[in-house]
Amino acid sequence: MSSLRNANERVAYSRTFYRDTEVYINKLGIRDLGFLEAAERRLTEQRAAEGFPVRAHYRTYAGFKAIHRHLFQDLYQWAGRERNYTTGRGSVPFAVPGYISGWMEDLFKQLAGDRYLVGRSKRDFAAEAVRYVNEINAGHPFIDGNGRAQRFWLRMLADNAGFDLALGSRDRKRWNEASRIGFIKQDHRPMARLIQSRLRPHDPA
């Protein structure tokens, strides 16, 4: 992927990691990858448990960025900020930095036009939501933590549409594989099946 980066992106990439490591520069000064991953799990779980700020519930790109910022604010300066270098899955690149903002803003405008999927059956919600999930993944706006931000965003979207979405840590591997297939093969079916299997209508009041 480095061959796709221009000089400015290579500088940005180098400034993201501690020298000669694959460890993100972080606010705690952790330089061991395993320790950083453990701290990341603990701190993001704590932030999620305390609840999200009002702006994170806005069904806009700004709201999506606020979800990421809330989850990762204790560790990374780039929490909630757009990625500034090209990355991808294998040899297939995600959206290049100059296209991320437009890509994401357009998606959220389309979502507004679809009335945020309100009024859909469980099957239809999953079938329509998966397109947004996979397109957001293709945009991949953040350096890391995209999947976690997406899952919390999707729970909020489902809640607004009248569903509980019970995605948990047990689903992480299945989510990641469905994301890979959706991105590499443009096959939405694995992600749609996962989402539908975890949706439940809200209990009547």
Structural domains in the chain plus CATH codes: 2-201 (1.10.3290.10)
pTM equals 0.93
Q: How many residues does the chain have?
A: 205
Angle between helices 122-139 and 146-160 (to 10 degrees): 150
Give CA–CA dist 77/157, Å, rounded: 27
Measure the N-to-C terminal CA separation of the chain; round to a whole number of Å: 51
- 116 Cβ neighbours under 8 A, 6+ residues apart: 59, 157, 160, 161
Q: What integer pLDDT is reported at residue 80 of this predicted model?
A: 98
Residue 202 CA to chain centroid, in angstroms? 24
Give CA–CA dist 100/186, Å, rounded: 19
Q: What integer pLDDT is reported at residue 98 of this predicted model?
A: 94
Instruction: Pick out the chain residues at pLDDT < 50.
Output: none
Q: What separation in angstroms does the CA of 20 have from each of 16, 46, 63, 90, 121?
A: 11, 30, 35, 21, 50
Q: Are 165 and 154 in contact (CB under 8 A)?
A: yes
Q: What integer pLDDT is reported at residue 3 of this predicted model?
A: 53
Q: What integer pLDDT is reported at residue 188 of this predicted model?
A: 96
Q: What integer pLDDT is reported at residue 6 of this predicted model?
A: 80
Q: Tell how strand 88-89 and strand 92-93 pair up.
A: antiparallel
Q: What integer pLDDT is reported at residue 1 of this predicted model?
A: 55
Q: What integer pLDDT is reported at residue 57 of this predicted model?
A: 96
Q: What integer pLDDT is reported at residue 203 of this predicted model?
A: 80
Q: What integer pLDDT is reported at residue 90 of this predicted model?
A: 80
